[in-house]
Structure formats: C-alpha cells, structure tokens
Amino acid sequence: MPNKDQKLLSCLKKSDKNSLRDLFTKYHQSLFNFVLYRVKDEVIADDIVQDTFLRVWKHRNSIKPNQSFFSYIAKISNNLCMDYFRHEKVKLRHQEHIPQLTQSGVDNPAIQYESKILEDKIHSIVNNSLPEKCREIFILSRVNGLANQDIAELLEVSRRTVENQLYRALKVLRSKLKDYL
C-alpha cells in the first residue's frame, strides 16, 4: 500500500489529475471523519476536505512522496479547521456590530404595488378633491418640504392660514383614505 501511495504522489507531483482523483477516493472518508470530529458540522467538514484537496493540488510540487500522505492532508485540514474556528470567534466578537437584515418595502413587490396604488390615490384626491389654495399649500408643504412660515411668506398669507389649509387637506385625505388606513 505505501508503494502505491508513493507512486500516486510521484504522479501527482507531475500534475497527473488521475492520481489526485485516486488519492481523493482513497482518503476522502477518513479525512472527512477526522475533520467532522473537530468541527461538528457536516457541511463545514465537507468544505474543509474539499479545500484540503485543492491545496494539495496547488502545492503538488512540494509533495514528498516518501512521507505519509494522510499526515500531510491531516495537517492541512487541521490548519483549515483552526482558520475556521478563528473566523467564527471573530464573527461572535463582532456580531453585535453587524446590522441585522430587515425586510423593507423596497424589497417586497407586493408592498411596492400597494404603495404605488396608495400614492396614486393620494395624488388623485389632492388634484380632484382639494380647493386650489388648499392644494397649493399642501403640495408646497408635503411634496416640496417647505416650512409653514416659508409657505406663508411665499404666498403672502398668514402662518395660521397655512396651518388651517393643511389641516383641511389632511382631513379630506383621512376621510377619503379611511379604507386604506
């Protein structure tokens, strides 16, 4: 058996993919069990085993055919396990600083559709149900974001008039949108 491994390792050193496949077939399960015992997660263990054999291929020129192949891959996988544990430790340490993903309306097409319908309804009410001066004040306030005092100066009316017109507009909107609210 050791002679067969030496021959496979010599061929692997010469970039023979079949020898890598044969070594993988021979040692995969043993290495998987070795790694699984350490990480206690089959998916992670499988990833580490895959990475181990990728590293074997990348560093095939430095392989020593006279040395134990399992010891070689066990050392590589052990280092990968240590990297995994260090990474998990860092994730735990910084977990409180990682923002949690939340479902937003931007991501949900149904909410986007409902928002568009509501927006169209508001637009229709503002344009068809509000008197001209009330509509103008509402648009300046809610669409353009002007302060009540700025609207009063712009339209040359009192601040109280602006407040009354906004109250009136919001009252009409609440009344017409009661099914949506």
| Long-range contacts, stretch 34-38, CB < 8 angstroms, 24+ apart | 34/74, 34/77, 35/77, 35/80, 35/81, 38/78, 38/81
Task: Give the CATH number of domain 2-97; options: 1.10.1740.10, 3.30.230.10, 3.30.9.10, 1.20.1440.130.
Answer: 1.10.1740.10
Q: What is the pLDDT of residue 144?
A: 86
2-97 and 109-176 share one CATH topology?
no
Question: Which conformational region is residue 177 in: left (phi greater than 0), alpha (psi within -120 to 50 degrees), or beta?
Answer: alpha
What is the average pLDDT value for the chain, to the nearest integer?
Answer: 88
For residue 100, the one-letter residue type is: Q
d(CA 116, CA 110): 10
pLDDT along the chain (181 residues), means of 10: 83 92 94 94 95 95 91 95 93 76 66 84 87 89 88 90 92 85 64
d(CA 84, CA 47): 11
* CATH assignment, 109-176: 1.10.10.10
pTM of the model: 0.53
Each domain of the chain, given as residue ranges in start order, spans 2-97, 109-176
- Report whether 90 contacts 149 (CB < 8 A): no
